[in-house]
Structure 1
């Protein structure tokens, strides 16, 4: 009797495409019960504070903010490889704080009061009119009003269209 042929449990790459597309779409969907941004329906992703740092920034007057941009695994891989446009499933989160003088070291500044959490989600099917990006801006966990969200894409489009509408450069 001939031996039974070995069966491979690996899926062909083509079979993974619908699975990955579904996963990316699920990431961009508003989660039930979570506050979502008007226009885009973007929510603050769970666990984002454990994501890798993409880059820090210092915003001058009038905002005077310290900022940190974090990225999910899809974003980090795209930055590391120099992939543009960013693939669907990319999520970037910007944290911002007022910067204040350090009480321990006079020439330094430190994070003060938190100001905003801003989120960008790449999903070309869901956000075709805005370069494939959905936006969310949150203060104390709540989305800001629709008028503020209407300015998101216009600002990115006017300044960084050639970088897939993303301001932040990777800090290696």
Structure 2
């Protein structure tokens, strides 16, 4: 037998439950890549530099490769395969001529980073990513995970062209 207050409390509980479900449904999904579930790691921009590169052709970008402490130690020691927990970030920008610098130098010769294109993250976990040489991949534009599963499926196909002795990593450590 419910009293007025008992009925009120039960009704309030139902309203709160449905309200919580509605709020949960409206929350954004976790910011992870499809296929691999890789997240954009907090603080990755403070990682140490592994190397820089210029990619010509259709991409025409400049990129910096950064590594977490595990990656840097493995690169420095020449450790292959990389240990689990290794994370490599590739941050890319469009390569653009610098009118300002060229004016100072007196001729066209200077290029700088333009608009950002994307950030790619590689994560080593031999067990979780056994089917892809122990590596999981993510690509992020404007801080958001690219949700194109077909694109993510192409990552290892490209990395697999490398020697297994390189542990499927393009980047070489620049001392």
| SS of residue in 1 equivalent to 2:161 | helix
Show the counterpart of 1:152.
155
On the 8 A contact 1:135/1:152 being kept in 2, the answer is yes
CA distance in 2, matches of 1:160, 1:111: 31
Runs of at least 4 residues off by over 4 Å:
none
The partner residue of 1:80 within 71, 76, 83 is 76
Correspondence 1:12-161 to 2 at 5 A? 34-106=30-102, 107-144=109-146, 145-161=148-164
After superposition, the C-alpha distances for 1:94-113 in whole angstroms (9 at most, x for unaligned) are 00000101132221100000
The partner residue of 2:168 within 137, 152, 165 is 165
Q: Measure how far apart 1:114 and its partner are.
A: 0.3
Q: Measure how far apart 1:161 and its partner are.
A: 3.0
Q: Computing the radius of gyration over CA atoms, which structure comes out larger, 1 or 2?
A: 2
On the 8 A contact 2:80/2:167 being kept in 1, the answer is yes
TM-score after normalising by structure 1: 0.79
| SS of residue in 1 equivalent to 2:140 | strand
TM-score after normalising by structure 2: 0.78
Structure 1: gaps spanning 5 or more residues? 1-31
CA distance in 1, matches of 2:29, 2:88: 21
Q: Comparing both structures, which one devotes a greater share of its residues to helix?
A: 2
